[in-house]
Amino acid sequence: MKKCILFTCALLAVLGCAGSDDSAPSKRIVLKIGTDATYPPFETIAPDTGEPDGFDIDLIKAICEINGWRPEFIVTPFDGIIPGLRNKKYDLVISAMTITPERAAVVDFSEPYYLAGQTIAVPVDDSLITDVEHLVGKRVGVQLGTTGELMAKRMDGLHVFSFDNIGAAFIDMANGNLDAVLNDFPTSQAYIKKHGTAKTVGKILSTEFYGMAVRKGDQKLLEGINGALEQLKSSGRYDQLHLKWFDAPPAIGIAPDSTFLE
């Protein structure tokens, strides 16, 4: 009987300690994260779980882990992702978003975490389009609200068609309705590797740096993000995530003072 009482007391003590643990998920600060999960390998919906997955998702999960935050993902179309942030639907955006002066005027960005650039994709059997000058007079697909759309609309003589997600643009090209797709190189490469219906041509057309966005003046959150990002890079964990999703080491020399289409 005495042993039974002692065991019960010990069990209650353990449960009491567990309930007071500030690191338990229920006690953590919930960080609401906006993302457009249609852009692999940065963000997509995992077919086995139905949850967001990808390089960006793993990266922000690691940042949350360092800061003791509990991530809560809110999937939203890219063209409305900044308005959603400003309207407080979520606290942060990570969605392969290029840091541009226009965006930096309305949100604050983290330090750059990825180096990318625009590239041209064409049907795999196309031999007429080999560089940017061959896009004149052609039907070019882009994703709404992206720097690819911005670049295409700055060019003279293109017939630009905007889509809710870049996969839809590639499908329309495969169906013969587009001549080319203008999009970020890593995502175009991922689509091509999976489907084999297209190829990239010509040179990389821009130097772009991805950043995480927060509302203007949210300095404490930004400091937590940047501090954790630095830890991930210095510890080698960032490199491990990059190898996992891109099967290659990250680009060297990310410069925070570089600008889009300079």
Encode pLDDT of 63-117 as tens digits.
999 999 999 999 999 999 999 999 999 999 999 999 999 999 999 999 999 999 9
Cis peptide before 41 (omega within 30 of 0): yes
DSSP 8-state secondary structure symbol assigned to residue 202: S
> Token pair 């670049």 is at which residue?
151
Q: Are 38 and 88 in contact (CB under 8 A)?
A: no
Domain with CATH 3.40.190.10 in the chain: 29-115+209-246, 118-201
Give CA–CA dist 203/221, Å, rounded.
37
Q: Can you spell out the DSSP letters for 28-49?
A: SEEEEEEE-S-BTTTBEE-TTT
Q: Determine the topology of domain 29-115+209-246 in CATH.
A: D-Maltodextrin-Binding Protein; domain 2 (3.40.190)
CATH class of 118-201: alpha beta
Q: pLDDT digit string (tens) for 178-190?
A: 999 999 999 999 9
Q: What is the pTM of this model?
A: 0.81
Nearest Cα neighbor of 71 from 81, 86, 57 is 57
